[in-house]
Amino acid sequence: MLLIEHLWAMGESNALVNRIKFLKRDTALVTAVVYESMFAAEDGSIPATVQVIFLNPPL
């Protein structure tokens, strides 16, 4: 927890706070079509991998 407090004191935080907060619908739809055309299986399913990162403070 000391590291987190130190980073906050330095003004460091999540860099994603300053990102553009939306994805245009047209962009999402085109991306889905392209992804499907490149990676869809014969049965119509679309494989995907998801990475989940958890940050838990030490006990």
Whether 12 is in a domain gets the answer yes
Q: Which pLDDT band, with edges at 50, 70 and 90, does 30 fall under? A: very high
Whether 18 is in a domain gets the answer yes
The 8-class DSSP code of residue 19 comes to S
Which domain range does residue 19 map to? 2-39
Whether 15 is in a domain gets the answer yes
Strands (E), 1-59: none
Whether 8 is in a domain gets the answer yes
Q: Is the pLDDT of residue 27 over 90?
A: yes
Segment 37-53, tens digit of pLDDT: 999 999 989 888 889 88
Distance CA 36, CA 47 (A): 9
Number of domains in the chain: 1
Any residues with CB less than 8 A from the CB of 13 and at least 6 apart, and which?
A: 7
Distances (CA, A) of 18 to 30, 44, 52: 25, 37, 21
